[in-house]
Amino acid sequence: DIQMTQSPSSLSASVGDRVTITCRASQGISNYLAWYQQKPGRVPKLLIYAASTLQSGVPSRFSGSGSGTDFTLTISSLQPEDVASYYCQKYNSAPHTFGQGTRLEIK
Amino acid sequence: QLQLQESGPGLVQPSETLSLTCTVSGGSISDTTYYWDWIRRPPGKGLEWIGSIYYSGNTHYSPSLKSRVTISVDTSKNQFSLKLNSLTASDTAVYYCARTRSFYERALDYWGQGTLVTVSS
């Protein structure tokens, strides 16, 4: 099975910073990758699908890129409400494995 | 507006079987466009994909859970269900049901609120 590895596992940044989270697949998955945000006590929210397509209603400061094995989620200007855990998920074929998550905090 | 709602016991005994149901409202589970998934998040850990079902009954499961899990669909009730047997404490988690964006685009765009299941005697 394809493994999904996120880095870093935790991250602390200042408001206004540009933040980058990476996700690496152990084999190529084309662009079948999604990014989710989960705030404490809340339901996961889809941010990005097809590696780079912004889900409707998601702020434009979020963006995704990559194809094959290496993917990136970028927040262009970190806001206080972005404190959350972020997960990548591959869905080219079952199992639709999630990355282990990245916890993002405000410095 | 599509809504999904999980239901089931909050406390289950070790070695027993967990049964959860996801009721879909505001849309039809028989819509040929979508798959329907189960996901869980153990306390202090990350999200884990459990499996997926199509309205026809076609299923896919996580290899790590495949021997213990069954996902089924009841189109007459607009519901799909999860059964997980031989429970241990490591199955304690918040369980979510969710819908894929489409048949080919399997990112999860609608989620239930989640239900906490504790495995303990």
Nearest to A92 by CA among A75, A71, A73: A71
Question: How is residue B67 written in tokens?
Answer: 């021997």
pLDDT tens sequence across B14-40:
999 999 999 999 999 999 999 999 999
The kind and range of the H/E element at B28 are none
- The whole-number pLDDT of residue A23 equals 98
Mutate which: A45, A48, A91, A98, vs B, most B CBs within 10 A: A91
B58 touches chain A (CB under 8 A): no
Place of tokens 């200042």: A14
A91 touches chain B (CB under 8 A): yes
pLDDT tens sequence across A44-60:
999 999 999 999 999 99
CB contact under 8 A, B61 and A43: no
A55 DSSP 8-state letter: P
Picking from A1, A34, A43, the nearest residue to B114 by CB comes out as A43
- The whole-number pLDDT of residue B22 equals 98
- The whole-number pLDDT of residue A83 equals 98
Distance from the B6 Cα atom to the nearest Cα atom in chain A, whole angstroms: 13
Report yes or no: B107 and B52 within 8 Å, Cβ to Cβ. no
Give B-chain residues touching A50 at CB under 8 angstroms.
105, 107
B55 touches chain A (CB under 8 A): no
Nearest to A30 by CA among A52, A56, A8, A7: A52
Burial environment of residue B115 by CB neighbours within 10 A (0 to 12, 13 to 18, 19 or more): buried
Count contacts between A and B (CB, < 8 Å): 63
Exposure b/e, A25-64, CB count within 10 A at least 16 = b: beeebebbbbbbbbeeeebbbbbbbbbbebbeebeeebbb
CB contact under 8 A, A91 and B111: no
- pLDDT tens per residue, chain B (121 residues)? 999 999 999 999 999 999 999 999 999 999 999 999 999 999 999 999 999 999 999 999 999 999 999 999 999 999 999 999 999 999 999 999 999 999 999 999 999 999 999 999 9
CB contact under 8 A, A101 and B46: yes
- The whole-number pLDDT of residue B109 equals 97
**How far apart are alpha carbons B27 and B32 in whole angstroms?**
12
pLDDT band at residue A25 using 50, 70 and 90 as cut-offs? very high
Report yes or no: A51 and A33 within 8 Å, Cβ to Cβ. yes
Picking from A38, A50, A55, the nearest residue to B109 by CB comes out as A55
pLDDT band at residue A22 using 50, 70 and 90 as cut-offs? very high
Report yes or no: B10 and B115 within 8 Å, Cβ to Cβ. yes
CB contact under 8 A, B108 and A46: yes
Q: Per this entry, what is the length of chain B?
A: 121
Pairing of strands B79-84, B18-25: antiparallel
